[in-house]
Structure 1
């Protein structure tokens, strides 16, 4: 998740070359990302018993403040998009509201929490297991590095962006685990399914996204994702409680709304 929108890579042709790559070459970044999160979780668990509460709290607050900054930065992508005559910010707002309504109707946040509770019971996790699982799953999977990095990995075998993401996620996992416990580590299941799935499916979307870094559909997803990341930052700082998972449908609605605005404008 963490990181800024990558610059355009015009020298990299996005054509359907993924079929020539092996499974490891197309998903290497995802496996490395999962490994760094697990390593960060182990370090966080080792520190948790030795750090006083005030130090654990300050670590999470540091991640929270950084998350807010990244969220603001990514949300700015909406200012770079225009769907016909409709401003990108309007598209993002409508996507977020409609997506939030759909997410609450489908009780996505509750579903993710139920999965966290099931894992907690199955593996006898303690403390704030579910909160850590939900927070880490969203934090590590919402953002442009996940989307663009997975597409590059799946198409070209280039895991550079996912390696950057893996480093940032691993460091964040240390701080989150020290506060929430082992539930953070179980977010690797979501990383493997979501991020790995995008990498494996990348070849099929190559024709639709000739340059993912500058494509307006990716930019609106980035902007909406940035707004969701802002919500995660507020939650980490315990300023309020935003049901961020309920907004997940907005990520799918944003490019559809952009296409509609292009069509009718």
Structure 2
């Protein structure tokens, strides 16, 4: 859990610095920063999507995953939670605008940052590794540094919601770390290899989901991106099912 705690701290620190600096930057500069971050996120998303060995797995995972997400309303729940956090933060800071532009800005920051910080191979592999070996936090340390600068850039435009996304990172990465603690002894030597088919296809599905993040950051289209998250579970399940049925997924 040490790596997860470090990551949470860096997200909060980066957000606070970004909010402080962002308030002093002209709106045009803030918009340019968000555009640049959107470009970088798109490149990372495409790189992750390209790691798939068979694009049909992420494709099917995305379709099945978003159907499940829409039916159970994941995005609605995430945004309600973000709205609740915004209302609480407004009460604590005695702000009066808890329903208008600031509310939408908070929720957008919370959702976008949560997806950026938690959808990717570093989240899964790094957290499980840290759970298996508490002294092994190298991958999460690298992720923490990256998230620190991403949080600064995001918070300079999207504000306090980015800082609250640290709670999402704590829950998700902490959950994977706990999994690592309990199953560490049962993991094979190559289970956490990024070239493991299960991780490759989950990374590919995550890359496809991340392609939608720049659309949110640049306000090009309001999509219910959180509804695609079940694809991260569906992808390794499809790999497992193919193995059970003797279907070759790599050629």
RMSD: 1.4
Deviations 1:194-231 (A, max 9, x none): 10111121133443553212211111111100111111
Task: Note if 1:68 corresponds to 2:68.
Answer: no
Deviations 1:57-116 (A, max 9, x none): 11111111110000000111112xxxxxxxx21111111001000001111111000000
Distance in 2 (alpha carbons) for counterparts of 1:239 and 1:119: 25
Task: Find the partner of 1:229 among 210, 235, 238.
Answer: 210
Matches within 5 A, 1:202-241: 202-206=180-184, 207-208=186-187, 210-211=189-190, 212-213=192-193, 214-241=195-222
Matches within 5 A, 1:13-92: 27-79=1-53, 88-92=54-58
Q: Which residue of 2 aligns with 1:174?
A: 152
The gaps in structure 1 that reach 5 residues or longer are 1-26, 80-87
The 4+ residue runs of structure 1 with deviation greater than 3 A are: 203-206
Task: Find the partner of 2:131 among 126, 133, 154.
Answer: 154
Task: Note if 1:106 corresponds to 2:100.
Answer: no
Residues 1:209 and 1:195: Cα distance change in structure 2 (over 3 Å): farther
Distance in 1 (alpha carbons) for counterparts of 2:212 and 2:187: 30
Q: Which residue of 2 aligns with 1:116?
A: 82
Q: Which residue of 1 aligns with 2:240?
A: 259
Deviations 1:154-206 (A, max 9, x none): 11221111011111111011111111110110011111111011112113344
Aligned length: 231
Distance in 2 (alpha carbons) for counterparts of 1:63 and 1:173: 10
- How far residue 145 of structure 1 moved from its aligned partner, in angstroms, is 0.4
Local SS of the residue matching 1:77: coil
Q: Which residue of 2 aligns with 1:130?
A: 107
The gaps in structure 2 that reach 5 residues or longer are none
Deviations 1:1-36 (A, max 9, x none): xxxxxxxxxxxxxxxxxxxxxxxxxx1111111111
Task: Note if 1:164 corresponds to 2:142.
Answer: yes
- How far residue 139 of structure 1 moved from its aligned partner, in angstroms, is 0.9
